[in-house]
Amino acid sequence: MGIDERPKNAERAESNVLHLMEGMEHEQVMFFNDKPTGLKGIIAVHNTTLGPSLGGCRIWNYAHEEDALWDVLRLSRGMTFKSSISGINLGGGKAVIISNPKVKHDEAFWRRFGKFVDSLNGKYITAEDVGTSTEVMRIVMQETKHVTGKPVEAGGTGDPSPFTAYGVFLGLKASVKQQFGSDDLSGRKVAVQGVGHVGYYLVKHLTQAGAKVYVADINQHNLDAVVKDFGVEVVAPTDIYGLEMDVYAPCALGATVNSQTIPQLKCSVIAGAANNQLANEVIHGKMLLDKNILFAPDFLINAGGVINCYREVQHLSELEANMLIENIYTKTLEIFKKSSEEKISTQEAAIKIAIDRIEKKN
Ligand code: NAD
């Protein structure tokens, strides 16, 4: 309570929510606030045509409320495309909590979040993301059944990263096949940027397949682990873009494929786990096309994690979920075919296929 004066224009960017929702075609956005626990955030439901919306809960220290809003709108829309192109019956949703991800929040905080999720009656299903974990989901599940990514002991499927990494590996192989005529990775030079949860398992698959792997990370502990376990070569984070390599695999941050990095890239393929790798879908998708660098759309090849969540929702066996993940190989080739036939970027081709499935269901 207590606001009795209407904020001035500059201070009320959040009042443009409906305008943004219209532009990005969101169905519903819920803001939540709980004074006793300090919980505040936003849940965005983008599209539920194919099924309930599902997407992780991200906790981040957003500088401005608008940044949180923009993030949740963009990420939930990405989830719609990801689930659609993966052939699973889920829509796109996402939750963001505005807080410092390094602060450990107590049970009351996460239970309150669970109650907010539950108030949407299954229209949004949550999961882990940046700053949340399977352990957090164990608390959230005390207040709602609309939660995935639970620990194995609690009936969930645990850490999704190995599944994500397997899908990325298959998408990467399909890209190599498209560009070089064979998906044999032996001797292929692959640079993996970020060897955290997903990067670690990707490096494992790549070294097992005989690739020559280079890694870059800002976390020494994570670098030490991959060097010790797989004997890979470390390069400085700033040197990775200019490396003589066949494949660049971004597995750290989004937007690393941009106007500054594209001119430096000497690779033939970009295929990695990071979400939203293209800083600008249109501009950078086209720049890659012109430079004959094949881009494997991230929202397709990193879908192993969401497929694993779907496995929890639908009570699928691990085998059934793996079959869905294995489709990533064929889907990736399908996108490349469409891109070359229609002379559009691979990102555009992937979005068209994702939208097409939703429109046909309508
Ligand atoms: P993570 O936090 O475990 O690992 C990220 C790694 O990147 C860390 O080791 C970090 O130190 C490193 N890093 C950060 N900045 C860097 C920089 N400038 N240069 C080099 N390395 C840097 O995250 P994760 O779970 O492995 O996810 C990796 C990416 O994949 C993220 O973008 C995430 O959104 C995306 N993703 C993950 C999953 C999943 O199942 N975990 C699913 C889909 C998409």
Is residue 235, in this structure, part of any structural domain at all?
Answer: yes
Range 76-107 burial, b when 16+ CB lie within 10 A, else e: bbbbbbbbbbbebebbbbbbbbbbeeeeebee
One domain, residues 210 and 295: yes
Domain that holds residue 259: 161-361
**Pocket mutation for ligand 1, best pick of 219, 234, 278, 308 (most atoms within 8 Å of C-beta):** 219
165 and 149 in a common domain = no
227 & 349 share domain: yes
The position carrying tokens 């430079």 is: 291
Same domain for 327 and 274, yes or no, is yes
User: Catalytic pick from 94, 173, 189, 204?
Assistant: 94
- In this structure, which residue's CA is closest to atom 12 in ligand 1? 194
Ligand 1 neighbour 269 (Cβ under 6 A): no
Which atom of ligand 1 is the closest one to the Cα of 200? 26
Query: 202 CB under 6 A from ligand 1?
Result: no
The token pair that represents 330 in the structure block: 């064929």
CA torsion angle for 232, 237, 241, 245 (degrees, to 10)? -10
Residues counted in the chain? 362
36 found inside a domain:
yes
Among the three residues 98, 123, 154, which one is the final residue of a domain in this structure?
A: 154
How far, in Å, is the centroid of ligand 1 from the Cα of 196? 6
Q: Among candidates 156, 83, 90, which has minimal Cα distance to 312?
A: 156
- Looking at the fold, whether 194 and 52 belong to one and the same domain comes out as no
pTM: 0.92
Phi-psi region of 132 (alpha: psi -120 to 50; beta: other; left: phi over 0): beta
Residue-level pLDDT at 139: 97
Mutate to test the pocket of ligand 1, among 198, 240, 257, 275 (most ligand atoms within 8 A of CB): 198
Residues in CB range of 18: below 8 A, 6 or more apart: none
Look at residues 135, 154, 173 and tell me which one is the last residue of a structural domain.
Answer: 154
- Token pair 């999961």 is at which residue? 127
Q: What is the pLDDT of residue 1?
A: 41
pLDDT number for residue 123: 98
Tally of domains in the chain: 2
- Picking from 102, 133, 154, the residue at the C-terminal end of a domain is 154
* Residues 230 and 282 reside in one and the same domain: yes
Show Cβ contacts of residue 187 under 8 Å, excluding neighbours closer than 6 positions: 210, 211, 212
Same domain, 288 and 181: yes
From the alpha carbon of 273, which atom of ligand 1 is closest? Answer: 30
**Residue 354 Cα distances to 125, 234, 279, angstroms:** 20, 37, 20
Please work out whether the CB of residue 51 comes within 6 Å of at least one atom of ligand 1. no
Does any ligand 1 atom lie closer than 6 A to the CB of residue 42? no
Does ligand 1 lie within 6 Å of residue 126's CB atom? no
> Is 82 inside any structural domain?
no
Q: What percent of the chain has pLDDT over 90?
A: 91
199 and 243 belong to one structural domain: yes
- Examine residue 167 and state whether it is found in any structural domain, yes or no: yes
- Cα separation, 135 vs 327, in Å, equals 30
> Which alpha helices (H) appear in 95-160, and where do they start and end?
107-118, 134-140
Residues 187 and 147 in one domain: no
Q: What are phi and psi of 125, to 5 degrees?
A: -110, 130
Is 294 in the same domain as 346?
Answer: yes
pLDDT of residue 175: 98
Active site residue 102: no
Per-residue pLDDT of the chain (362 residues; tens, 9 = 90+): 444 555 555 555 555 899 999 999 999 999 999 999 999 999 999 999 999 999 999 999 999 999 999 999 999 999 999 999 999 999 999 999 999 988 999 999 999 999 999 999 999 999 999 889 999 999 999 999 999 999 999 989 988 899 999 999 999 999 999 999 999 999 999 999 999 999 999 999 999 999 999 999 999 999 999 999 999 999 999 999 999 999 999 999 889 999 999 999 999 999 999 998 999 999 999 999 999 999 999 999 999 999 999 999 999 999 999 999 999 999 999 999 999 999 999 999 999 999 999 999 87
